Amino acid sequence: MSSIKNIIFDLGGVLYAIDYQKIESGMASLQLETADSVKYSRSYQDPLFTQLEIGSITPEAFWEGMKSRFQLRDDCEAFFKVWNSMLHGLISGRQNLVQELTQNYRVFLLSNTNIIHYQFLITECEPMFQLMEHCYFSHEVGMRKPDPQIFTHILQAHHLLPQETLFIEDSEQHIVAAKALGIQTIFVQSDAWPDQLQNLLSTSSINAS
């Protein structure tokens, strides 16, 4: 295992609390009885969500598309309230963790997000984002995980070696994509992942000495 010099964080589910079920249950409350249910999870989302996440459609077009695709009541305000309901705030201690890591590592953020969610969370998260060397948001760069291109873009832009880079993420398909490029990973499956991180970094430091 190579020495870790760079850390790329996912946002939702790693640093920021989210609840996918809020989208599914909230959208159901806005639908007509005959409509298809809205599915939204770490592993699956409707193509309309993907288009919004890579910035290829506006929030207004997203709303109109969702209204038509899932037979939603014509209540734009209620729709956007539901859309943001999955966002539950920064996880306690995560900003401090990021701050500590920046003392010894190059730290980045890579998030599949969209302009609506970004505008909702930016005020709370900006102090943490400013600690990082660079933050990549899918709707700004026009790419999203697990597309290998977004990983290679970051590696090349900052002259990072994949074997010296650690990616911390809670979606398995994104972990698989990063590993295929030779990037080290931590697959977040519980709140105990910071302990796993510290153990990995300690081992990395020993191997480097």
Could you tell me if 36 and 129 lie in one domain?
no
**Which residue range forms the structural domain that includes residue 30?**
20-85
Q: Is the pTM of this model over 0.85?
A: yes
**Hey, which bits of 77-199 come out as E strands?**
87-90, 106-111, 134-137, 165-169, 184-187
Strands 16-18 and 87-90: antiparallel
d(CA 50, CA 62): 10
- Is residue 1, in this structure, part of any structural domain at all? no
> Which sign, positive or negative, has the C-alpha torsion 187, 189, 193, 196?
negative
| Same-domain check for residues 25 and 11 | no
CATH assignment of the domain containing 70:
1.10.150
56 and 121 share a domain?
no
Same domain, 103 and 51: no
35-56 per-position pLDDT tens digit = 677 877 776 778 999 999 999 9
Same domain (yes/no): 27, 54: yes
End-to-end CA distance of the chain: 13
- pLDDT tens track for 103-156: 999 999 999 999 999 999 999 999 999 999 999 999 999 999 999 999 999 999
Structural tokens at position 117: 């969610």
The first and second tokens of residue 39, run together, are: 């599915």
- Number of independent structural domains in the chain: 2
